[in-house]
Amino acid sequence: MSKEKLIVALDVNNRAEAMSLVKELAGVTDFFKVGMELFYSEGVGIVREIAAAGAKVFLDLKLHDIPNTVGRAARVLVRSGASIINVHAAGGGAMMRAAGDSAREEAAKLGLPAPAVVAVTVLTSIDSNAFTREMGYTGAIEDRVRTWALLARESGLDGVVCSPREIKMVRKACGPDFKIITPGIRPAGSDLNDQRRVMTPGEAIKAGASQIVIGRPVTGAPDRCAAAAAILAELSGA
């Protein structure tokens, strides 16, 4: 089982902590997620430093704006060396298409590998009550995820980010080559924290996830390397 199946979320807000985690886990996994907190604190330099250390970066900024703005932002993010960047599917097909096209064009222009561009669907912190009462959507969460996943594929994106509960449905709708990145992963016995629609690592891979994202169960563990290694062992048996 490839180490790239596991993406460890660097949910910290400074370079020192982030690079300490990258170095500590380097022998176990080599894929890390940089989210808003770390990126807004340290800027694009942290992505470049992680990449220079030999690791890969999922840059999780959930771009959501008019197509021109998102396309231009995608071009800038390509230069960071991130292996995956994302947008929010709620921005629509034209916006997603602008992100994917711009990222590929910029990578070709610079002679760099094109990052995978994926679309976030419904956040894993959202339950059915929030989805309907607070956000005003009708129907089930699963239906919205399926609609956005199909739109992402039609818009030329490489995949989506969805909760574990939608993996099988997205895989069936979008095919075997569509990337499915899954947060909301909690090893058996872990605290749910602010996640709602969750699965264990092995369940997610069996359901058809391409990669899983795990933060606190690894980064908050007394022995982080052991925690990551245990997750990878579970994935190998899935």
Q: What is the pLDDT of residue 199?
A: 82
Identify whether 127 is a catalytic site residue: no
Identify whether 62 is a catalytic site residue: yes
Binding site annotation covers 46?
A: no
Q: What is the pLDDT of residue 1?
A: 47
Q: What is the pLDDT of residue 24?
A: 97
- pLDDT tens for the chain, 238 residues long, are 478 899 999 999 999 999 999 999 998 999 999 999 999 999 999 999 999 999 999 999 999 999 999 999 999 999 999 999 999 999 999 999 999 999 999 999 999 999 999 999 998 888 899 999 999 999 999 999 999 999 999 999 999 999 999 999 999 999 999 999 999 887 765 554 554 556 889 989 999 999 999 999 999 999 999 999 999 998 887 5
d(CA 211, CA 183): 9
Q: What is the pLDDT of residue 125?
A: 85
Q: What is the pLDDT of residue 191?
A: 56
Binding site annotation covers 65?
A: yes
**Cα–Cα nearest to 150, from 93, 74, 86:** 93
Secondary structure in 3-state letters for the chain = CCHHHEEEECCCCCHHHHHHHHHHHCCCCCEEEECHHHHHHHCHHHHHHHHHCCCEEEEEEEECCCHHHHHHHHHHHHCCCCCEEEEEHHHCHHHHHHHHHHHHHHHHHHCCCCCEEEEECCCCCCCHHHHHHHCCCCCCHHHHHHHHHHHHHHCCCCEEECCHHHHHHHHHHHCCCCEEEECCECCCCCCCCCCCCCECHHHHHHHCCCEEEECHHHHCCCCHHHHHHHHHHHHHCC
Domains plus CATH for the chain? Answer: 3-236 (3.20.20.70)
Q: What is the pLDDT of residue 185?
A: 86
* Annotated catalytic residue, options 3, 65, 101, 168: 65
Identify whether 109 is a catalytic site residue: no
Residues in the chain: 238
* Annotated catalytic residue, options 62, 101, 168, 206: 62
Q: What is the pLDDT of residue 188?
A: 61
Binding site annotation covers 11?
A: yes
Rg (C-alpha) for the chain, rounded Å, is 17
């990578």: which residue's tokens? 107
* Annotated catalytic residue, options 30, 60, 158, 179: 60
Binding site annotation covers 88?
A: no
What is the rounded (10 degree) CA torsion for 148, 164, 120, 183?
180
Binding site annotation covers 100?
A: no
